[in-house]
Amino acid sequence: MDIVKEVKDIFESKFQTKPVLFASPGRVNLIGEHTDYNEGFILPAAIDKAVYVAVSLRTDDTIHLHAVDFNEDYIVTVNEMAPVVNGWSNYILGVVDQLQKNGYAVPGFNMVIRGNVPSGAGLSSSAALECAVIFALNDLLGLDIPKIDMVKMAQLAEHTYAGVKCGIMDQFASMMSIDGHVIRLDCRSLEYDYIPFNFKDISVVLFNTQVTHNLASSEYNTRREECEAGVAIIKKKHPHVQSLRDVTLDWVEQYLEKDSKIYNRCKFVTGENQRLLDGCDAIADNDLESFGALMFETHEGLSKLYEVSCKELDFLVDTVKENKAVLGSRMMGGGFGGCTINLVKTSEIDEVVADVTGKYQEKYGIKPPVYICTLQKGTYKIEI
């Protein structure tokens, strides 16, 4: 069944009224990993997998949520909201909380949620949900909140209710993307450029380890603290330094203890910012082979210096490293599982998929799901 019709039908059956529907996509990030919360550069894009919400306002102060994927309901009043331990409702209630903190009155509402962004795959299903919710409430309540402010509120919802101190990339990509482009975003100034990425002979292919990143949230926050510790040390010598964005590789080598965790984390991030800028130049020159080589370098750094990979991710990257049909590959997302992102010659996708999935199944006993992605627009209202 068409997912939009499914969400609409479930909503009407459950609440006996017609909803308004919205969609917000998951995202990939071609290069620039763990740079966003260090005020660096990123290169994400929304993809053709999304979270869909059907919504109607209520006349009382009750929020009634139904998650189709979990077959679960969550009911609370607007004034009694609080974070739930490991609860999917946090991504919705956190958005309502942000609206309230910014002076917007939010009444009760009904919402049905359904998604086809694979959870735990590093495609930011949580940010997609946050963006769908704030976009929907902004529309239904006529709040006229600028998109960039909705992005910031969605990010803070994840900080406060889900407890993950994420950077701004996931929400920004989910909300702000346009068809057929990647976004080069400066995470300090929030200045951004849309860069065409319409290479018909090259496709973006994801292989899902099916390893869920249980460590990701806590280790993500730890990595952030380690980067901040490096900044604090360097700041003593260079007071203008505010984040790793201001730090050169020479300073990392000069002021941080070699091969310490803090050294390794900071060395990766400073190198990754330069790889992203070099990668944008490569795209502009239609040189995807050079771009792909940078992706392989990024994975090596994420695995050895930043230590957020796992043996399954490393195996997937190693499997394609010598394959001439694969220009680049790396792990993507917070780490410890999820997907690798690969640039694959479109004419040879079937052969590459058969080779990689076969070897992975032989090694780990499971066949990794494969997603061939097209780059899509960000959060939108569905016109029926």
Instruction: Provide the annotated active-site residues.
Output: 170
CA distance 314 to 311: 5
Helix or strand or coil: residue 170? helix
Cα distances (angstroms) measured from residue 40 to each of 65, 82, 149, 270, 356: 36, 33, 20, 9, 33
- For the chain, how are helix, strand and coil distributed in percent, rounded to 5? 45, 20, 35
Q: Which two three-digit tokens encode residue 5?
A: 């019709």
Helix or strand or coil: residue 312? helix
CA distance 188 to 190: 6
Q: 108 phi and psi, to 5 degrees?
A: -65, 155
For 254-284, b/e burial (b = at least 16 CB within 10 A) is ebbeeeebbbbbbbbbbbbbebbeebbebbe
Is there a contact between 176 and 183 (Cβ–Cβ < 8 Å)? Answer: yes
Is there a contact between 129 and 24 (Cβ–Cβ < 8 Å)? Answer: yes
Please name the helix (run of DSSP H) or strand (run of DSSP E) that holds residue 195, with its range, or none. strand 192-196
Helix or strand or coil: residue 243? coil
Strand 20-29 with 380-382, pairing? antiparallel
Burial class (CB in 10 A: 0-12, 13-18, 19+), 13: exposed
